[in-house]
Structure 1
């Protein structure tokens, strides 16, 4: 019997790339997002439109039809670039929305999924955080940064608590990745993209597939002795700002 994964944020970007990678690896994937289903979704993947902020996680997990869960990938994320900024003057609604999606929805789903992960064979959680949760940014996006730092901290705590049961929990921390969420900013300001490429030691932006490959590794048995780890995938960018 194939392993089963649940991937959030699967309507595009990193989440969709992760679904594509896991499906290619023979994993039975349930994909979910508040967005409409992408035409790039592989055949055989079950897509469940779902609002992580408003929906009951038990309803989403009911799509497993009683099967155990092997892998959980929390890839759903929100960054309100046009409204987020310094904590000193950012609107409260930005904090509520950003932490709601990036932290609280992740927490609710993970707590609901743990009993099913206990029954599974893969027993692995990967949460998508960000280098912004590990280091500061040139221009503050405080709600986003705080939410991702909290994901890193929560993931480490879960790893320590669930490790004795054989359940691993890690984060992937992407750097500058060319996702649908960030691409409009580069289209509006091509110099911003060029600057980011030049600041990255590998001299390019990352692709969603780069992060999907890292996620697939951390989920797999090849990473069976890795937990409580933050895997940075950023082309070397973070090494310059320590």
Structure 2
């Protein structure tokens, strides 16, 4: 039977408003709750309880930040006080973006901006990031979450498809990190760079036919270690995050085509369930803040123990 292909943006799809019964075991993850009367002073007083996690006055970019995991992490950075620029290939961000931007401006005393960019367009990428740094006189952080995925058997993969995968997931991440690091070096203030990898960079996922994707994420892990080695002398920390399976709208659609995965995937980790985008908020704030000031060249694996069996 001719294989079917699935291509979609990984980790930046819109999180589901509600999950199906088999996935309702996800815990409620605490978040800051702000009403329209919440003042910046009250927010600042809260963050002073753990000041090393504060991001007030920091300028942070999130590629793939128009929706899904990227947008969820961007919101967490805003709540910690950062000014955030979401970079994405979409002509306009998802509908979830605008309420978060309004909340940032009215309640959190900061701002969420959007810039359309394809990470494969290196000249435009450098121009956009340089302009942001010029406007603020600094650039403090990057979460590189832009990526794509394609499920195709190795015997049927084309060179064109493989090259597209690597150009976004590896070269795109590399060039985004490079563009940000250049500004950090220019302003001599250091900073933190995080690249979204995957547990798939360390293991071969049982029953998931994504050879090029898995190879691209393995490359990202090694890329992060090497960038950390080169840029440490400039005070730039580089780390990666390796998520496990994340329930998104695209994953739910995948379950329609492969219903066995809905029951089998949760069994493959030690917690017996899948994750939601909100479970990666704390990791974003931790790695962007001084709370991780002595952490570089490392991978933060958040996979429910999937790869620790």
What is the aligned-residue RMSD (CA, Å)? Answer: 1.7
- 1:34 is matched with 89
Which structure is larger by alpha-carbon Rg, 1 or 2?
A: 2
Q: Secondary structure at the match of 2:169?
A: helix
Shift of 1:122: 6.1
Specify which of 176, 185, 199 is matched with residue 268 of structure 2. 199
1:45-194 alignment, distance < 5 Å? 45-54=112-121, 56-61=124-129, 62-64=131-133, 65=135, 67-81=137-151, 84-86=152-154, 88-118=155-185, 119=187, 121=189, 123-138=191-206, 139-194=208-263
The aligned length equals 237
SS where residue 149 of structure 2 aligns?
Answer: coil
User: Where does structure 1 lack aligned partners over 5 or more consecutive residues?
Assistant: none
What is the Cα deviation at residue 5 of structure 1? 0.3
Equivalent pair of 2:194/2:241 in contact (CA under 8 Å): yes
Q: Give the superposition deviation at 1:105.
A: 1.1
Map Cα deviations across residues 35-82 of structure 1 (whole Å, 9 max, x no partner): 23122222231011111123521222123425311011100010012x
> What is the CA–CA distance in structure 2 between the aligned matches of 1:50 and 1:163, rounded to whole Å?
28
TM-score (norm 1): 0.91
> Partner residue of 2:297?
228
User: Is 1:213 the equivalent of 2:243?
Assistant: no
Q: What's 2:24 paired with? A: none
Distance in 2 separating the partners of 1:202 and 1:123 = 34
Tell me how far apart the structure 1 counterparts of residues 121 and 167 of structure 2 sit (CA, whole Å): 10
Distance 1:201 1:192 in 2: 16
Distance between the aligned counterparts of 1:30 and 1:180, measured in 2? 24
Deviates more, 1:212-221 or 1:157-166: 212-221
Quick check: 1:8–1:15 contact (8 Å CA) kept in 2? yes
How far apart are the structure 2 equivalents of 1:155 and 1:14? 20
CA contact (8 A) 1:159 1:167 kept: yes
Task: Determine whether 1:24 maps to 2:91.
Answer: no
Q: Verify the 8 A CA contact 2:190 2:234 in the aligned structure 1.
A: no
More off after superposition, 196-205 vs 144-153: 196-205
Cα-to-partner distance string for 1:82-135 (whole Å, 9 max, x where unaligned): xx331x431112111110110111111221211212326560000000111111
